Amino acid sequence: MVIAGLQKTTLLDYPGKVACTVFLSGCNFCCPFCQNWEIITDKGEDISKEYLMNFLKKRKGVLDGVCVTGGEPLVNADIVDFIKEIKDIGYSVKLDTNGSYPDKLISLADKKLIDTVAMDVKNCPSRYAATAGCPVDIDKIRASVEYLLSDNIDYELRTTVVDELHDDKGMLELAEWIKGAKRYFIQNFKDSEAVRFGNLSPCSDEKLRSFTDVMRPLVPSVKIRGEN
């Protein structure tokens, strides 16, 4: 496992908690709009686990939670032991995932090693591989979505929308898939030098509003990230 980054304090990544965010290297997707490409390809800070755990012990009482993100944290074979160490210190843990490892996700939840999950739902099923940038076992994604929708653990679903990859038809198909999700966010793509590929654009405000209008009859909780 490579710990590729540490944001020592965040009020945004773990809603309701004063937290830190731990970035783990590696991912099984190749999303063209990814903002963490350097982290995914082992070009991060390479922080030792000993340093991280000592930091967490010293900050206990100041921080409430730890957000474990990536990349895709669940690609790591030793992720269960890693999260258990964090839990043993006394932290609440939020896991960010793309949902491609449902067995690991469910096991972590059943063992009470994670307290909340944020899952990136890339697009509607028919456009998933194109959006993820690689072949995807959609049945595994479906299993993770189904598990979260069953409300066994606190969760949010979210989709980063890109003008070239998302439209009303696809968002309606997505809404039919995640119908009734208790917390769902649309977050607009932001171009930057960290993005893997060029020639991608954020959606207009009008297009974002159209997405919420299309989805709301099936997903009443839909919100645009950053709006009240």
The 10s digit of each residue's pLDDT in 43-80 is 667 799 999 999 999 999 999 999 999 989 999 999 99
Omega of the bond leading into 71 within 30 degrees of 0 (cis): yes
| Average pLDDT score over the chain | 94
pLDDT value, residue 101: 98
Task: Report which residue type is found at 220.
Answer: P
pLDDT category of residue 227 using cuts at 50, 70 and 90? confident
Q: To 5 degrees, how large is the angle CA 226–CA 141–CA 13?
A: 30
Higher pLDDT, 170 or 36: 170
Which residues, including other chains, have CB under 8 Å from residue 1's CB and lie 6 or more apart? 24, 25, 49, 76, 78, 79, 82
Give the number of other CB atoms < 10 A from CB of residue 137. 13
Q: To 5 degrees, how large is the angle CA 100–CA 186–CA 228?
A: 135
Strands 223-224 and 154-161: unpaired
Q: What is the pTM of this model?
A: 0.95
- Partners of 96 in beta bridges: 118
Environment class of 70 (CB within 10 Å of its CB; exposed 0-12, middle 13-18, buried 19+):
buried
Structure tokens at 116: 């909340």
Distance from C-alpha of 185 to C-alpha of 187, rounded to nearest angstrom: 6
Distance from C-alpha of 219 to C-alpha of 213, rounded to nearest angstrom: 10
Mean pLDDT of 185-214: 90
Mean pLDDT of 90-112: 98
pLDDT category of residue 228 using cuts at 50, 70 and 90? low
